[in-house]
Structure 1
């Protein structure tokens, strides 16, 4: 059985969230309350424009190629993000959000 992996905002929120999941499993809290609690505990997704992505990469002092490797995307994708031709989505957007909040080192 696979377990869910959650990107928690802090270790304390991780512990609290796990306790709430246990209460949800035994029926002590309903699904709606659990969903609301998820929103408060889990890392929120930021939106990034071309300048924001470039600034994040430059702050990390990385070339587009290295930044792309850290995000597990191609260099051309990073280039297109920075030129505004494409916008990040899915896992890439989540990784960018984590890098923005905690630094690129957190996703390496």
Structure 2
């Protein structure tokens, strides 16, 4: 199973795909490929409890609905908003997408 990759734009997706092919062919080195990764891929940052709550409220959804879109439990969203736990991995990627493009980006 391959890992889903999210790009900043369709144009950057094409650029990154070309760079990946060049890397596999040995035309560009690992350091250059890292530069393309940073430039083309959607950035991910840790979200504070306040940011998560503000993001959910901006999208005008309940914790239960937000959890459904993120494929987690309502309790997880509640714990994130209270600072008891932190989202990680795929969930951080989804939160970044919602932050940049809105809830419809992952609907």
TM-score (norm 1): 0.92
Distance 1:17 1:35 in 2: 10
**For residues 10 and 64 of structure 1, do their structure 2 counterparts lie closer, same or farther at Cα, with a shift above 3 Å needed?**
same
> Are residues 89 and 26 of structure 1, via their aligned partners in 2, closer, same or farther at CA, if it must alter by over 3 Å?
same
Count of residues in correspondence between the two structures: 107
TM-score (norm 2): 0.93
Partner of 2:24: 25
RMSD over aligned Cα atoms: 1.2
Structure 1: runs of 5 or more not aligned: none
Stretches of 4+ aligned residues off by more than 6 angstroms: none
Deviation of residue 66 (structure 1)?
Answer: 0.4
Distance 1:48 1:80 in 2: 13
Q: Equivalences for 1:47-58 in 2 at 5 Å? A: 47-58=46-57
Superposition map of 1:4-83 within 5 A: 4-83=3-82
